Amino acid sequence: MDRTFFIHDSSLLQSESDDPLLAIRSFISPKPMNSGEKCVLCGSLVTLFDSVTTITGSVPRKITLQNQVFAIARVESQITLALSCTLESKEDPVALLDMLIEIVQLRFSSFSSLLRFWSEGQISDDLLNILAHTEKLVPIDNDFEMHMKSSIFMENCMTNYSHIGSCILFREDIVHSHFDTRTTKLIVAASYFPNYNSETGKTELSNLTWFTVFVRKNIFQNIGCFDANTEKNLSLNPEISDDTDENEHISLILACLCVNQSAMLMLCPVGGFSPETTQKLEKELVALDRQLAIKVLLDEAE
């Protein structure tokens, strides 16, 4: 992995005598770095970010150091993130960092929550692995038959089961989704985290797991299947909302059902499925998985 990534929390430094290493909550780099080098790199980038913001009034998003381009962002009052790409890379580090931020906000609501419930030594490695996996997700746009089979299945689910929208994956490719591609990638990425819910804990029924996610209100209202009447039954989270209405978070359940090579991810109002409903839904997804597998095998044999 040729990216450097760190999470820096300035609130942990209360005086000039405090060890600057305390503020580095997580760090990963392609080359080994000792504690002093980590502190110099993180401290320099955070100080430069603050200085440019104060002097110019504008927030820098990219900083170049030697052969690395760092995307940088302040996600909460004193938590700073930075993610690098090489100068030769065709990737946009700002786009990658923004995607990473949205994944964490969807799954944990904030980086403060992530840092409270995640092993610090694993954060950077796990986040970059999830980001890399998410980048590989692609919609299957050129297979009309697979699209139609999944579309019919999903519309039946919308009628028979209580959820807001869903997506179908086969072999981790996006077969069909109620959401746009970016939102679908965010939802799939959220499911990659260990299924830990800080409030209710992990819940399992058969092959179905679910946990709370935090969807920004403006994103939720852009979902194609959004119904204004549905919003009345949803739970806003004022504790994690900022000053702007469009950035309010809505607590939803992300339910993940996996069978064989297929997976269905559903956004649902807060609640769950009964064991009977789970068994019925699982049986229907097994049938769809069989149809998709046969279709793929026939295509591969041609």
Boundaries of every domain in the chain: 5-136, 144-301
Please report which confidence band the pLDDT of residue 197 belongs to, taking 50, 70 and 90 as the band edges: very low
**216: pLDDT strictly greater than 80:** no
For the domain spanning 5-136, the CATH number is 3.30.450.70
Q: What mean pLDDT is predicted for residues 223-228?
A: 52
pTM for this model (two decimals): 0.83
Could you give the 3-state DSSP secondary structure of residue 83? strand
| Dist CA 93 CA 29 (whole Å) | 15
Q: What is the mean pLDDT of residues 109-117?
A: 83
- Mean of all residue pLDDT scores within the chain: 81
Q: How would residue 18 be classed by pLDDT, with cut points 50, 70 and 90?
A: confident
Alpha helices (runs of H) in the chain, residue ranges in sequence order:
35-56, 93-108, 111-117, 120-136, 144-160, 181-192, 217-220, 228-231, 275-301
Q: Tell me how far apart the alpha carbons of residues 2 and 67 are, in angstroms, rounded to a whole number.
A: 12
Distance CA 211, CA 268 (A): 10
CA distance 4 to 246: 32
Would you say residue 101 has pLDDT above 60? yes
Assign 168 a pLDDT band (cuts: 50, 70, 90).
very high
What does the pLDDT average to over 264-292? 84
Domain 144-301: CATH architecture, name and number where available? 2-Layer Sandwich (3.30)
301 compared with 105, residue with greater pLDDT = 105
| Coil, strand or helix at 287 | helix
Residue 50: per-residue pLDDT: 93
Which one has a higher pLDDT value, 205 or 79? 79
Q: In what order do the strands lie in the sheet with 5-9?
A: 24-28, 5-9, 79-86, 68-74, 62-65
- Report how far residue 300's alpha carbon sits from residue 172's, in angstroms, rounded to the nearest whole number: 17
Q: Dihedral angle at the C-alpha atoms of 274, 275, 276, 280, nearest 10 degrees?
A: 100
Checking if the pLDDT of 236 tops 50, the result is no
- Mean pLDDT over 156-165 rounds to 83
Residue bearing the bigger pLDDT, 82 or 240: 82
Percent of the chain scoring above 70 in pLDDT: 81
Taking each helix axis from N to C end, the angle separating 120-136 and 93-108, rounded to the nearest 10 degrees, works out to 110
- At residue 37 the predicted structure's pLDDT band, cuts being 50, 70 and 90, is very high
User: Which pLDDT band holds residue 233 (cuts at 50, 70, 90)?
Assistant: very low
Are the C-beta atoms of 220 and 226 separated by less than 8 Å?
yes
Domains 5-136 and 144-301 share a fold: yes
Work out the average pLDDT over 276-297.
Answer: 88
Q: What is the pLDDT of residue 36?
A: 94
